[in-house]
């Protein structure tokens, strides 16, 4: 095969794709691409071009070997790189071993965890796709049993508790959070973090960022949502400290997450995302009539996001929930989009991502076209349909590049047309 059809600089044989997979073909070849849907328009963040607005959301696989990625991750992530996603964010990756959700979680606290990730990143880059990672600390939700070990979907078995015991590799006595409030009676009771512990986590987070540079990631997302450590500091339901890092005042509860994020921003010069939960979905109002904050919600999220914009965060990934065990969520298609829309209205120049039961291409396109968000993050729909970006292009009436090896499956989409109808 002629060398010009190969990916230059790759460590093995890869066929070069021109244009890159998931990129619209030029209008002079495919007239139907004269007016591109927003979903397939590029996005520039801090000098990095995202080829389209479809991002693979972080998905915990609970399949790591003492924090190290395995071939499961190569296949799982590699499949998205060959099917048109604009970028991939790898799963929640713990910055310290005790920050894992379960013993099977991904980690980046040791140098030996770099090489398996580099292999994945090199494969993704060989297919012209951006890849990042979500750095996380589970806080009071750590040392738990992986979901399918706890119970199965068929409901034929269920563990008595979510706590992963010490004799089986857990660390229930080494769980930390802002306060000594357990997520539920079935979870470990955390030890309140003192200043030394907070500085230790900060320093380890920065070391993980340095390892991200060696791995070769294109962006980093910081997990401040879903009831994990940074969200625990933000919410008055989980942070009842009486020092400068907690309690009723919002500025106190934001203080440590913002200090950490400012350090990360200073250490990382590529795009930096933050995932937030815009509400705890607890009963009652976000704020009492006397001004006391009762739970985390949209109004505090807006203030927090304003501080993140001041720090220089490039994109806010807006999710909800995960902190309050009794949460009641009105789940329906696009149920989290209104929260992203509220933030976008307040900060129109800040890139916003939206998530949550986004399954239909027309639905996704409408959110972006109407200015409710700038990108969509997909997870479960991509598990069911890894080819979703290609199917979305076909449904929206345009032609994008499939992988060379897959072109024969997309003959209908790859037929030039003079009109934009299907």
Positions annotated as catalytic residues are 228
Which of 264, 377, 353 is closest to 305 using CA atoms?
353
DSSP string covering 113-170, please? GHHHHHHHHHHHHHTT-EEEEEEE--GGG-SB--HHHHB-TT-S-B-S-SB--GGGT-
DSSP E strand stretches across 233-321: 272-277, 315-319
Which of 137, 275, 264, 272 is closest to 218 using CA atoms?
272
CA 326, 332, 334, 340 torsion: positive or negative? negative
Cis peptide before 336 (omega within 30 of 0): no
Task: Retrieve residue 91's tokens.
Answer: 């799963």
Q: How many CA atoms lie within 13 A of 335 on its CB side?
A: 13
CA distance 408 to 420: 22
Say how many C-beta atoms besides its own lie within 10 A of residue 419's C-beta.
8
Strands 191-192 and 176-177: parallel
Strands 351-354 and 315-319: parallel
Say how many C-beta atoms besides its own lie within 10 A of residue 414's C-beta.
17
CA distance 33 to 42: 14
């Amino acid at each position: 095969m002629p060398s010009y059809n190969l990916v230059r600089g790759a460590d093995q044989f890869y066929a070069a794709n021109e244009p890159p997979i998931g990129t619209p073909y030029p209008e002079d070849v495919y007239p139907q691409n004269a007016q591109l849907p927003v979903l397939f328009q590029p996005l520039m963040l801090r000098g990095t071009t995202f080829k389209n607005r479809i991002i693979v959301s972080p998905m915990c696989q609970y399949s790591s070997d003492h924090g190290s990625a395995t071939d499961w991750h190569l296949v799982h992530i590699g499949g998205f790189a060959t099917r048109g996603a604009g970028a991939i964010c790898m799963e929640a990756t713990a910055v310290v071993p005790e920050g894992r959700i379960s013993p099977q979680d991904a980690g980046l606290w040791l140098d030996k965890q770099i090489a398996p990730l580099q292999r994945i990143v090199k494969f993704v880059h060989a297919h012209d796709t951006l890849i990042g990672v979500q750095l996380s600390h589970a806080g009071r939700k750590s040392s738990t049993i992986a979901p399918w070990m706890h119970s199965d979907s068929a409901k034929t078995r269920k563990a008595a508790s979510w706590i992963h015991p010490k004799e089986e590799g857990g660390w229930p006595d080494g769980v930390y959070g802002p306060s000594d409030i357990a997520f539920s009676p079935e979870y470990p009771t955390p030890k309140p973090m003192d200043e030394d512990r907070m500085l230790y986590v900060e320093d380890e987070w920065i070391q993980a960022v340095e390892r991200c540079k060696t791995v070769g990631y294109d962006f980093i997302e910081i997990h401040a949502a879903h009831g994990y450590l940074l969200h625990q500091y933000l919410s008055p339901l989980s942070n009842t400290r009486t020092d400068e890092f907690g309690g009723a005042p919002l500025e106190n509860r934001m203080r440590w997450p913002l200090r950490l994020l400012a350090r990360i921003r200073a250490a990382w010069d590529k795009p930096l995302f933050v995932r937030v939960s815009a509400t705890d979905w607890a009963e009652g109002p976000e704020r009492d009539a006397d001004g006391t904050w009762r739970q985390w919600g949209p109004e505090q999220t807006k203030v927090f996001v304003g501080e993140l914009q001041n720090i220089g965060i490039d994109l806010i990934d807006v999710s909800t929930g995960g902190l309050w065990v009794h949460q009641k969520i009105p789940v329906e298609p696009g149920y989290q989009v209104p929260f992203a829309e509220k933030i976008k209205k307040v900060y129109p120049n800040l890139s916003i991502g939206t998530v949550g039961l986004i399954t239909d291409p027309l639905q996704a396109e409408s959110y972006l076209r109407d200015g409710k968000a700038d990108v969509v993050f997909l997870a479960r729909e991509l598990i069911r349909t890894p080819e979703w970006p290609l199917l979305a292009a076909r449904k929206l009436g345009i032609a994008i590049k499939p992988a060379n090896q897959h072109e024969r499956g997309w003959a209908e989409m790859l037929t030039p047309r003079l009109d934009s109808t299907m």
